[in-house]
């Protein structure tokens, strides 16, 4: 079991994900964008431009419309130590 899997429990929902931090007892509700970012390969996940491109392709949106939201979501995921 990876260190991340040992620390976090998660449950997927149609519009996002809920994660529980076993270490701190904190629970976080993630929206669909943040949830999808966690599923991206590491190299893509850490690059807002690449992540916006990949998610834009997946969702049929222009990457430019997602880039700011992706950057904000990555900041939040780093703050709660999910990435």
Helix (H, G, I), strand (E, B) or coil at 69: helix
Mean pLDDT by 10 residues, the chain (83 residues): 68 91 91 89 84 93 92 92 83
Strand order of the β-sheet with 16-21 is 8-13, 16-21, 27-31
pLDDT for res 1: 40
- The answer to whether 77 and 37 are in contact (CB under 8 A) is yes
């Amino acid at each position: 079991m990876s260190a991340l899997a040992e620390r976090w429990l998660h449950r997927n929902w149609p519009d996002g994900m809920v994660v529980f931090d076993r270490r701190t007892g904190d629970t976080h509700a993630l929206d669909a964008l943040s949830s999808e970012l966690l599923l991206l390969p590491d190299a893509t996940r850490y690059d807002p431009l690449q992540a916006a491109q990949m998610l834009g392709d997946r969702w049929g949106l222009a990457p430019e419309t997602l880039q700011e939201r992706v950057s904000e979501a990555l900041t939040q995921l780093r703050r709660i130590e999910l990435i």
